[in-house]
């Protein structure tokens, strides 16, 4: 295991800057998840750390070593991709032990390491099977086992679960989490899946156009997003954002109601006229008012989306679409108008121009 440090890293393809002046320090044993919209540079960053992509500028350190100009096999990393090519003519055990065999590790030691990884991945009963005799999820576990037997300093995962069906994904996710809790490997993991990011990460790195927009615990990014970009990107359905203005001790929603400045934003009391964006998460709307001075909104339901354990309601608030996440049985019917309340502590405010949090 080792820490990973990326210092002022840059990457251009031709004239296009893909990674810009990026600094990132990952502690020994930390599980870091990279998220961000398609094309923001997550895979490029991972491939540079792996040594599969040359850097344009900057430095990459793994443990105590500067590995910036080392080849992938000298970096002591293992990478697991979304598409995992196993050798079809080899058994699961042979696939897993292949890199050790190439490194001329004695066979009894290879067997020990393969068996140990197979036990952790619950595939010890499948070791003599060929890839075609395995399910997708079992094959993916063999691919992970192949990375694990090498006991690298750092694991790099690029959407390793995205080819699996929803059920397998959920169980593999739990498996990866359990493995990390037991072994405390250093992991850098790219995903588009919100739940994977929230459940696996010690810290999430939210990337935007080759830069880090915010880095923090899942709780930080969800409950204290630094910008509207992070607020919209983390959480599904996304946070509602409504234009509003600071008034005399109040927030006035454009074309809608006003409510007293929440305590967290008391510092805005002398900023009458400042344009802001009001952020409310879909689950923050309640039918019952917990305090009369907290925000309340009149919303007319225009679309109802039942999702089993919860219902998403798209509604009109002061001429704009908002999404609410409600318990079944509490949702209005299509066309009905209701008053919804939001706790003052659940209100987010962002500067309308810089889009940065005003908290």
Site for ligand ATP, rule CB under 6 A: 13, 18, 36, 38-44
Q: What is each CA distance from 51 to 13, 43, 76, 78, 122, in whole angstroms?
A: 16, 12, 11, 11, 31
Distance in Å, CB of 34 to ligand ATP, minimum:
8
Q: How far apart are CA 181 and CA 190, in angstroms?
A: 19
CB 19 within 8 A of CB 210: yes
HEC sequence for 261-320: CCHHHHHHCCCCCCEEEEEECHHHEECCCCCCCCCEEEEEEEEEEECCCCEEEEEEECCE
If phi > 0 it is left, if psi is from -120 to 50 it is alpha, else beta; for residue 63 that is left
Residue among 13 and 87 whose Cβ is closer to ligand ATP: 13
CB 179 within 8 A of CB 80: no
Q: How far apart are CA 328 and CA 312, in angstroms?
A: 9
Distance in Å, CB of 20 to ligand ATP, minimum:
12
Q: Which two tokens stand for residue 317?
A: 């608030």
Distance in Å, CB of 221 to ligand ATP, minimum:
17
Distance in Å, CB of 62 to ligand ATP, minimum:
20
Distance of CA 168 to the CA centre of its chain: 19
Q: Which two tokens stand for residue 116?
A: 């140990």
Distance in Å, CB of 16 to ligand ATP, minimum:
7
Distance in Å, CB of 137 to ligand ATP, minimum:
22
């Amino acid at each position: 295991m080792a820490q990973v440090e990326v210092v002022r890293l840059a990457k251009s393809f031709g004239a296009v800057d893909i990674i810009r002046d990026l600094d990132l320090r990952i502690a020994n044993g930390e599980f870091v998840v990279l998220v961000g919209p398609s094309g923001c540079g997550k895979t490029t960053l991972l491939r540079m750390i792996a040594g599969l992509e040359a850097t344009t500028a900057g430095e990459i350190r793994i443990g105590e070593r500067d590995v910036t100009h080392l080849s992938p096999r000298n970096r002591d990393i293992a990478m697991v991709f979304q598409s995992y090519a196993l050798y079809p003519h080899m058994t699961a055990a042979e696939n897993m032990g292949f890199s050790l065999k190439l490194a001329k590790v004695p066979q009894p030691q290879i067997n020990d390491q393969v068996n140990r990884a197979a036990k952790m991945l619950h595939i010890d009963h499948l070791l003599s099977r060929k890839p075609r005799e395995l399910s997708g999820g079992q094959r993916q576990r063999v691919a992970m086992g192949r990375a694990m037997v090498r006991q690298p300093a750092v694991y790099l995962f690029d959407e390793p679960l995205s080819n699996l069906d929803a059920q397998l994904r959920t169980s593999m996710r739990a498996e990866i989490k359990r493995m990390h809790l037991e072994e405390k490997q250093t992991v850098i993991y790219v995903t588009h899946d919100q739940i994977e990011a929230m459940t696996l990460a010690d810290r999430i790195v939210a990337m935007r156009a080759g830069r880090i927009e915010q880095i923090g615990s899942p709780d930080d990014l969800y409950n204290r997003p630094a910008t509207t970009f992070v607020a919209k990107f983390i959480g599904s359905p996304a946070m509602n954002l409504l234009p509003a203005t600071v008034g005399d001790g109040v927030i006035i929603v454009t074309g809608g109601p006003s409510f007293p400045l929440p305590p967290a934003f008391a510092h805005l009391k002398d900023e009458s006229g400042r344009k802001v964006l009001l952020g409310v998460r879909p689950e923050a709307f309640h039918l019952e008012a917990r305090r009369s001075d907290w925000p309340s909104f009149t919303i007319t339901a225009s679309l109802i989306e039942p999702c089993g354990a919860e219902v998403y309601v798209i509604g009109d608030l002061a001429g704009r679409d908002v999404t609410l996440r409600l318990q079944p049985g509490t949702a209005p019917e299509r066309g009905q108008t209701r008053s919804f309340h939001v706790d003052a502590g659940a209100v987010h405010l962002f500067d309308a121009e810089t889009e940065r949090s005003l908290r």
